[in-house]
């Protein structure tokens, strides 16, 4: 007569019914662990892999065949048959009555009643009968152990612990009670007590693989890795083909960060048991961390073949494909996941990200809209959608999303900034200023917000207001070099030279490699003919950062000119003109050098080019006349000197960010 037991939802090998009466804690009934965390870094998942030993909940399907007959025989023989004698033939998984003492007749009767009730699913009746059995034979450690097991299965761990502890008081060397208590203690964070019990068991039976495993797992949970490694190695010494021994060693090595060793033992695990899904997933995670993505892919695929309905493994496989830049393959896996679980909105979110990366923006938007239909308050998805709409030049659509984000979460900093950026880029300075002012009310210590507002005010030629905004920004964020730079640039517009110098010096002090501030201060000093050696040093430092910036090269040439170093000045200004061909200031400077060198025709030509680019330069027109070249010809406007790289951007804020 045989039973079929189900452990954690998996079928166990069929076993003789007689083992049910005496079976202790099976060493095969090892606890499961959750192995997958969706699309998280593989290293982070390993923290879940050290098993926390606990008592397994078991649902036993018992066949009805022979129940009444067996019951009658046992009832008839209960007073004369020592139950321990039957158990003597059962070795590793048998609970043997201590000292081979038979149960009292009444105790045997109640024990059989309890077991029959258990078979029929009458667990309350079984508990009552076990209680009567224990009362009938108060010195039976075996009965207390049986009673403890059903109490534990019925969710009464405290009563189960009390009964198992009584069994140990009757027989301090009763191994099954020690193991059950160790499991309960381990699962209820009484770790040290569990460890003590397992160590006592190993003194009695040093080769108990299950106890070696449980004890090693507890020690690993306390990060006593060396001791845990010794125990798992003993399991393999006892049984070189121990699947759980190799698996446990592999997981422990991974916990220790020794991933090559982990991979070696996990590979042995799947060699011994190719359809071990957990080991396949463990290997996939290990190879992800080792960046051996092809190997990770292989084992995730094998795990999916074992369990085709496990979408969590598919998620990891999709991540491996993304890491390998195989976005099409990742998309195929995510589409399979959507087929298995169409309501999984996270899958559609990830599909949207892949479509966006592939510049298939319409498909990306469709996926994100699908997510938002199910999760309208999902700020993360709305933020990504808004960014994609910006990329598609759908500024109104992006603004609508940012408005909704701010309705859901007024403290979403990025939504405030992007709203102001879009308004600035689309020539709506008033709306941009309103957005940045609103952001400043929410985040008064964020210096960049004052920077953006001040740039909008500069765009509107509100220089005094911009100076005030930049000043407030420097007070709110004293370490923001860009704020000091823009404050100095705004002061230059107002002719406040001391403010320019002081602000640029502050920017350079905060960021010694702030190329724009180095050049601005150097050029300001050169233009005024002051501190020329310092001016040259500042400009050279700027050129170390940006060696091919034509405006910086022009500043260097002009500083040489002011020092009277005409040859050096001419060489640098020619190079500047090659780097920035259509700048009126560079052409004017070249003309000045040529005139100083007595090369009048060359000077006249460069000044003509400068006036062609900036015909409203009255200072140069007067200089043209004073040099004896007559009245300069009129020319159509063609631009003005750029302030630096990024001048083609649609807004000063974008130019600032690009710099």
Quick one: average pLDDT of 394-411?
A: 95
Summary count for the chain: helices (H), strands (E): 36, 4
* pLDDT above 50 (res 244): yes
CA dist., res. 318 & res. 656, Å (int): 38
3-state helix, strand, coil in the chain (%, to 5): 70, 0, 30
- Check residue 581 and give its pLDDT: 86
**pLDDT averaged over every residue in the chain:** 81
Least confident of 12-16, 471-475, 607-611, 616-620: 12-16
CA 386 to chain centre: 22
Which of 192 and 649 is assigned the larger pLDDT? 192
CA-to-CA distance for 331 and 18, rounded, in angstroms? 53
Q: Is the pLDDT of residue 468 over 90?
A: yes
pLDDT, tens only, 580-633? 988 999 999 999 999 999 999 999 999 999 999 999 899 999 998 988 888 887
Q: Per DSSP, what are the bridge partners of residue 7?
A: 10, 58
* Cα(83)–Cα(139) distance, integer angstroms: 15
Q: What is the DSSP letter of 504?
A: H
Q: Using one digit for the tens of pLDDT, what is the confidence trace for 253-262?
A: 999 999 999 9
Mean pLDDT, to the nearest integer, of 78-89?
28
Spans of all domains in the chain: 2-324
Specify the pLDDT at position 641: 39
194 vs 515: CA distance, rounded Å: 65
Q: pLDDT-based confidence at 153, cuts 50/70/90?
A: confident
Structure tokens at 496: 């406040």
User: How would you class 538 by CB atoms within 10 Å of its CB: exposed for 0-12, middle for 13-18, buried for 19 or more?
Assistant: buried
Given the candidates 3.30.70.980, 1.25.40.10, 2.40.30.170, 3.40.50.11540, the CATH classification of the domain at 2-324 is 1.25.40.10
pLDDT of 207 higher than 70: yes
Q: Which range has the worst mean pLDDT, 33-47, 76-90, 170-184, 374-388?
A: 76-90
pLDDT, position 188? 81
Q: What is the pLDDT of residue 326?
A: 93
Spatial CA neighbour of 593 closest among 610, 581, 613, 615? 610
Spell 587-625 as b/e; 16+ CB within 10 A means b.
bbbbbbbbbeeeeeebbbebbbbbbbbbbebeebbebbe
- Is a pLDDT exceeding 80 seen at residue 142? yes
| Pairwise CA distance, residues 155 & 451, whole Å | 63
User: Nearest CA to 334 among 360, 324, 321?
Assistant: 321
Read off the pLDDT band of 301 (50, 70, 90). Answer: very high
Rg (CA), the chain: 41
Structure tokens given for 270: 């799947």
Residue 659: predicted pLDDT = 38
Q: Is the pLDDT of residue 516 over 90?
A: yes
Residue 650 has pLDDT above 60, yes or no: no
Q: Using alpha carbons only, give the angle 411, 450, 425 rounded to the nearest 5 degrees.
A: 85
pLDDT at 102: 52
Q: Which helix (H) or strand (E) holds 3?
A: strand 2-7
With a CB cutoff of 8 Å and minimum separation 6, the contacts of 561 are: 569, 573, 589, 592, 593, 596
- Residue 12: predicted pLDDT: 30
What percent of the chain is modeled with pLDDT above 90?
A: 64
Q: Give DSSP secondary structure letters for 175-201.
A: HHHHHHHHHHHHHTT-HHHHHHHHHHH
Region of residue 66 (phi > 0: left; psi between -120 and 50: alpha; otherwise: beta): left
Would you state the structure tokens that stand for residue 256, as one six-digit string? Answer: 């220790």
Quick check: 536 and 512 in contact, CB under 8 A? no
Q: 205: how many CB neighbours lie within 10 A of its CB?
A: 10
Residues 6+ apart with CB under 8 A from 250: 261, 262, 263, 264, 265, 266, 268, 269, 279, 282, 286
CA angle (139 as vertex; 133, 145 as ends), nearest 5: 60
DSSP state string for 550-608? HHHHHHHHHHHHHTT-HHHHHHHHHHHHHHSTT-HHHHHHHHHHHHHTT-HHHHHHHHH
Indicate the range of 23-27, 133-137, 167-171, 335-339 predicted with least confidence: 23-27
Q: For residues 364-373, give the mean pLDDT.
A: 96
Q: Is 70 exceeded by the pLDDT of residue 652?
A: no
pLDDT more than 70, % of the chain: 80
Please state the φ and ψ torsions of residue 607, each to the nearest 5 degrees. -65, -35
**Residue 55 structure tokens:** 């008592």
47 pLDDT higher than 90: no
d(CA 173, CA 200): 8
| Helix residue ranges, H only, 190-310 | 191-204, 209-221, 225-238, 243-255, 259-272, 277-289, 293-306
Which residues pair with residue 16 across a beta bridge? 2
Q: How confident is the model at residue 61 (pLDDT cuts 50, 70, 90)?
A: very low
């Amino acid at each position: 007569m045989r039973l079929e037991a189900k452990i954690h939802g998996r079928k166990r090998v069929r076993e003789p019914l007689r083992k049910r009466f005496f079976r202790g804690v099976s060493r095969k009934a090892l606890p499961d662990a959750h192995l997958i965390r969706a699309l998280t870094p593989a290293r982070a998942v390993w923290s879940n892999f050290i098993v926390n030993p606990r008592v397994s909940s078991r649902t036993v399907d018992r066949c009805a065949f022979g129940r009444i007959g067996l019951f009658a025989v046992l009832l008839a023989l209960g007073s004369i048959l020592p139950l321990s004698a039957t158990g003597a033939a059962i070795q590793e998984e048998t609970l043997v009555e201590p000292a081979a003492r038979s149960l009292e007749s009444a105790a045997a009767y109640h024990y059989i009643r309890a077991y029959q009730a258990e078979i029929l699913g009458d667990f309350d009746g079984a508990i009552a009968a076990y209680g009567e059995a224990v009362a009938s034979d108060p010195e039976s450690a075996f009965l207390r152990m049986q009673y403890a097991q059903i109490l534990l299965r019925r969710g009464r761990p405290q009563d189960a612990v009390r009964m198992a502890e009584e069994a140990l008081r009757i027989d301090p060397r009763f191994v099954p009670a020690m193991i059950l208590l160790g499991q309960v203690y381990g699962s209820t964070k009484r770790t040290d007590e569990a460890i003590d019990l397992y160590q006592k068991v190993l003194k009695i039976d040093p080769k108990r693989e299950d106890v070696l495993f449980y004890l090693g797992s507890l020690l690993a949970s306390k990060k006593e890795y060396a001791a845990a490694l010794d125990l798992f190695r003993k399991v393999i010494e006892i049984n070189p083909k121990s699947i759980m021994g190799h698996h446990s060693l592999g997981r422990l090595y991974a916990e220790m960060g020794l991933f090559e060793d982990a991979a070696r033992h996990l590979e042995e695990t799947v060699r011994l048991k190719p359809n071990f899904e957990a080991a396949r997933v463990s290997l996939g995670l290990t190879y992800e961390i080792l960046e051996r993505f092809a190997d990770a892919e292989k084992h995730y695929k094998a795990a999916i073949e074992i369990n085709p309905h496990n979408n969590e493994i598919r998620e990891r496989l999709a991540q491996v494909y993304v890491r390998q830049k195989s976005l099409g393959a990742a998309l195929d896996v995510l589409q399979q996941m959507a087929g298995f679980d169409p309501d999984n909105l996270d899958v559609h979110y990830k599909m949207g990200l892949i479509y966006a990366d592939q510049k298939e923006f319409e498909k990306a938007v469709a996926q994100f809209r699908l997510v938002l239909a199910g999760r309208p308050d999902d700020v993360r998805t709305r933020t990504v959608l808004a960014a994609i709409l910006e990329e598609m030049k759908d500024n109104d659509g992006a603004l609508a999303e940012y408005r909704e984000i701010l309705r859901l979460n007024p403290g979403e900093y990025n939504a405030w900034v992007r709203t102001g950026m879009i308004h600035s880029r689309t020539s709506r300075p008033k709306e941009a200023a309103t957005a940045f002012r609103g952001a400043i009310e929410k985040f008064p210590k964020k210096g960049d917000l004052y920077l953006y507002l001040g740039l909008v005010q500069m765009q509107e030629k509100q220089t005094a207001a911009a100076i005030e905004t930049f000043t407030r920004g420097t007070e709110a964020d004293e370490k923001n070099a860009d704020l000091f730079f823009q404050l100095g640039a705004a002061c230059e517009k107002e002719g406040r030279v001391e403010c320019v110098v002081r602000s640029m010096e502050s920017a350079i002090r905060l960021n010694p490699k702030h190329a724009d501030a180095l050049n601005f201060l150097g050029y300001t000093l050169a233009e005024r003919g002051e501190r020329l050696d310092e001016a040259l040093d500042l400009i050279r430092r700027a050129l170390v950062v940006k060696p091919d910036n034509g405006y910086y090269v022009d500043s260097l040439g002009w500083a040489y000119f002011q020092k009277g170093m005409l040859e050096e000045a001419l060489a640098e200004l020619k190079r500047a003109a090659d780097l920035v061909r259509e700048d009126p200031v560079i052409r004017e400077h070249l003309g000045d050098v040529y005139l100083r060198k007595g090369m009048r025709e060359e000077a006249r030509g460069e000044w003509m080019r400068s006036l062609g680019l900036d015909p409203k330069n009255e200072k140069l027109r007067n200089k043209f006349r004073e040099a004896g070249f007559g009245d300069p010809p009129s020319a159509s406007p063609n631009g003005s000197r750029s302030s630096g790289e990024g001048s083609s951007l649609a807004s000063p804020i974008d130019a600032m960010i690009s710099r």
